[in-house]
Structure formats: structure tokens, C-alpha cells
Amino acid sequence: MDFKGKIILAPMAGVTDAPFRKIARRYGADYCVSEMISSVAVHFKDRKTALLAKTEKSDTPIGIQIFGHDPEIMGECAYLVSRNEYEHCISDTPPDIIDINMGRSP
């Protein structure tokens, strides 16, 4: 992806949900990033997290930010989310980018 000259909405936990992204795009954002998605929650097939990770064609290009510190769980999470195979997550398109946040899970 070419980000040169593009307006990017940074990932913000508790802020950059789908409605916020829609507004940001209306006001010119070219690329948006989701709220942060816990890799551990994806590992345990958490349904609420599935809603946060949902991606739709009308909300692209989009990055899904995943966080965690366990390489295996992060890898599994990136695999599932990037291939749109996260159970309970009903997306009509996979994300364009997986944004890695190496923050430690609580």
C-alpha cells in the first residue's frame, strides 16, 4: 500500500470502532485502523472481540490491530484475522493490513 500523502486514522482503543471510522472516512481519512484486538481473546474465540474485528468492504482499506506478547498466539491471531477465519467474526472482506501492537496483555 502506498501511504504517501494519505490521511491515516491511527488506532485508538475505545475510539476507532466502525461508526467512528465511517465518520473519519466521510471527513477524508484514506486508511483506518481498528481498535486493538486482543490475540488472547481471539485465541479463546471471544464473541465481543469478534465484533471489534469485523471488517466490511465499505470500510476499506483497513488495518486490524492485534496485540499480545505470546508469539504463537499472535501468529494464530494474525492467521485467523487475515484470512477472515476468526469464528464468530462475520466480515465480508479480510483486512488489508495486520497492525502488530506488542503490548503485554493484562
Ligand X SMILES: Cc1cc2nc3c(=O)[nH]c(=O)nc-3n(C[C@H](O)[C@H](O)[C@H](O)COP(=O)(O)O)c2cc1C
What x/- string results for residues 75 through 104 when contact with ligand X is judged by CB under 6 A? Answer: --------------------------x---
Q: From 63, 58, 65, select the one nearest 26 (Cα to Cα).
A: 58
Is 68 a residue that touches ligand X (CB under 6 A)?
Answer: no
Please tell me the total number of residues recorded for the chain in this structure. 106
Nearer to ligand X, 1 or 15 (CB): 15
Count Cβ atoms within 10 A of the Cβ of residue 63 and give its class: 0-12 exposed, 13-18 middle, 19 or more buried.
buried
Is 11 a residue that touches ligand X (CB under 6 A)?
Answer: yes
User: Helices in the chain by DSSP H: which ranges?
Assistant: 18-26, 39-43, 47-52, 71-82
State the number of binding residues for ligand X (CB under 6 A). 8
Q: How far is the CB of 31 from ligand X (least distance, A)?
A: 13
Nearer to ligand X, 19 or 57 (CB): 19
What x/- string results for residues 24 through 53 when contact with ligand X is judged by CB under 6 A? Answer: ------------x-----------------
∠ CA 80-45-98, rounded to 5°: 35
